[in-house]
């Protein structure tokens, strides 16, 4: 017995054009309903949510519509005595929120809003003897955190404050028979983790560890007949996985291995014509997360009405250039 291929079909009336102004309106209004149940329930993701929204707006060249002062005050309030940053006031510091916060401050060219030296010391303190990183003081280890740590430190210009060789060694130890990467040594390959590990190796200048042909084959096989990409074999396509896979292919110089037009069609069909925004797949509810990754994906696929996006940091290329980061992609 096998598993039938899981895919979706794109309805004939699905959007075929990019609805930029609707997306800008959607993101612009997202934070205005602060008493909404959904909004309150997702407080544990607030810092990430602000990064998704602001980056989406910046890619559409609409960042000026957002309330910069309010955002900077919020980020400052979320820095803890330890140096780490939490997702919202009253929550605990975590690497996932800390990276988002640094990305937000970098977008606004306002890193000096918080005590960056303390952030650096805190990130440093999370590195373990085997090179891995805890996400916070409670000890969960994951290659996502290795990415967060080096992305964060490189944006702050302090990559050398950790043991980079050991950090790389740990990420490489998570490589699998299919050329991909998982959460920890022994874990199954997953597009999200692959993006983190490939990105981590790009930032540290160690992409030669990757078997680009082998990994490229696994990644391009994520494309389904609908044009969308899934995160692992035998899974449904999803706009956010389109980003993780696409960005990884770009970093290892294998973007031409997928059918770009089919993927563009799938991403465009995942827009909501009424509300603006992108959903995970056609016909579902939209959210800021998929809206950012939909836009970023279209940017990598060459849409010139969106700013060029950096495949490693998922931030506008002009921002990455401004902070002086130069990456050697394959």
Q: Where on the chain is the footprint of other proteins (CB under 8 A)?
A: 1-3, 5, 35-38, 40-41, 43-45, 86, 90-92, 94, 136, 138-140, 142, 176-179, 182-184, 186-190, 205-208, 211, 214, 218, 221, 232-236, 238, 272, 279-281, 283-285, 287, 289-290, 328
Q: How far is the CB of 174 from other proteins (least distance, A)?
A: 11
Residue 281 makes CB contacts below 8 A (sequence gap 6+) with 8, 228, 236, 237, 238, 239, 266, 270
Q: How far is the CB of 131 from other proteins (least distance, A)?
A: 18
The count of C-alpha atoms lying within 13 angstroms of the C-alpha of 87, restricted to the half-sphere facing its C-beta, is 14
Nearer to other proteins, 109 or 273 (CB): 273
Q: How far is the CB of 304 from other proteins (least distance, A)?
A: 27
Nearer to other proteins, 94 or 250 (CB): 94
Say how far apart CA 330 and CA 314 lie, in whole Å. 17
Q: Burial, 92: exposed, middle or buried (Cβ in 10 Å; 0-12, 13-18, 19+)?
A: middle
Q: How far is the CB of 307 from other proteins (least distance, A)?
A: 25
Tokens of 52: 């998704």
* Cβ–Cβ < 8 Å for 255, 198: no
Q: How far is the CB of 243 from other proteins (least distance, A)?
A: 14
Say how far apart CA 256 and CA 3 lie, in whole Å. 28
Pairing of strands 315-316, 309-310: antiparallel
Nearer to other proteins, 73 or 329 (CB): 329
Q: How far is the CB of 53 from other proteins (least distance, A)?
A: 14
CA-nearest of 110, 75, 106 to 93 is 75
Nearer to other proteins, 158 or 232 (CB): 232
**CA geometry: angle 238, 240, 242, nearest 5 deg:** 70
Nearer to other proteins, 191 or 310 (CB): 191
Q: How far is the CB of 109 from other proteins (least distance, A)?
A: 30
Say how far apart CA 278 and CA 267 lie, in whole Å. 8
Nearer to other proteins, 69 or 274 (CB): 274
Nearer to other proteins, 3 or 32 (CB): 3
Nearer to other proteins, 92 or 317 (CB): 92
Alpha-helical (H) ranges within 78-225 are 95-107, 116-125, 143-155, 164-172, 191-203, 212-220
Instruction: List phi, psi (to 5°) of 134.
Output: -75, 150
Nearer to other proteins, 111 or 187 (CB): 187
* Cβ–Cβ < 8 Å for 257, 248: no
DSSP conformational letter for 187: P
Tokens of 67: 């309330």
Q: How far is the CB of 120 from other proteins (least distance, A)?
A: 23
Q: How far is the CB of 76 from other proteins (least distance, A)?
A: 19
Q: Burial, 39: exposed, middle or buried (Cβ in 10 Å; 0-12, 13-18, 19+)?
A: middle
| Chain centroid to CA 93 | 19
């Amino acid at each position: 017995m096998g598993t039938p291929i899981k895919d979706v079909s794109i309805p004939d009336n699905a959007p075929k054009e990019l609805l930029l102004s609707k997306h800008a309106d959607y993101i612009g209004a997202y934070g205005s309903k602060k008493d909404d149940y959904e909004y309150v329930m997702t407080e544990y993701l607030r810092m990430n949510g602000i990064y998704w929204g602001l980056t989406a707006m910046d890619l559409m060249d609409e960042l000026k519509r957002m309330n910069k002062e309010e955002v900077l005050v919020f980020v400052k309030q979320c820095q803890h005595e330890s140096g780490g940053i939490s997702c919202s006031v009253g929550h605990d510091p975590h690497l996932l929120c800390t990276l988002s916060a640094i990305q937000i401050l970098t977008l606004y060219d306002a890193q000096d809003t918080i005590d960056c030296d303390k952030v650096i010391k805190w990130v440093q303190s999370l590195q373990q003897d085997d090179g891995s990183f805890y996400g916070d003081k409670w000890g969960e280890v994951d290659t996502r955190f290795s990415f967060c740590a080096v992305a964060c430190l490189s944006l702050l210009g302090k990559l050398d404050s950790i043991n980079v060789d050991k950090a790389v060694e740990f990420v490489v130890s998570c490589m699998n028979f299919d050329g991909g990467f998982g959460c920890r040594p022994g874990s199954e390959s997953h597009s999200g983790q692959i993006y983190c590990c490939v990105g981590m190796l790009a930032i540290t200048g160690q992409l030669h560890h990757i078997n680009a042909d082998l990994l490229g084959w696994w990644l391009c096989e994520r494309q389904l007949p609908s044009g969308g990409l899934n995160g692992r074999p035998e899974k449904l396509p999803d706009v956010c996985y389109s980003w993780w896979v696409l960005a990884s292919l770009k970093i290892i110089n294998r973007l031409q291995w997928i059918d770009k037009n089919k993927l563009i069609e799938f991403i465009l069909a995942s827009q909501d014509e009424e509300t603006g925004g992108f959903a995970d797949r056609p016909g579902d509810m939209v959210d800021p997360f998929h809206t950012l990754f939909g836009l970023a994906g279209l940017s990598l696929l060459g849409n010139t009405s969106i700013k060029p996006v950096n495949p490693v940091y998922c931030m506008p290329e002009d921002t990455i250039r401004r902070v002086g980061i130069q990456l050697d992609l394959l």
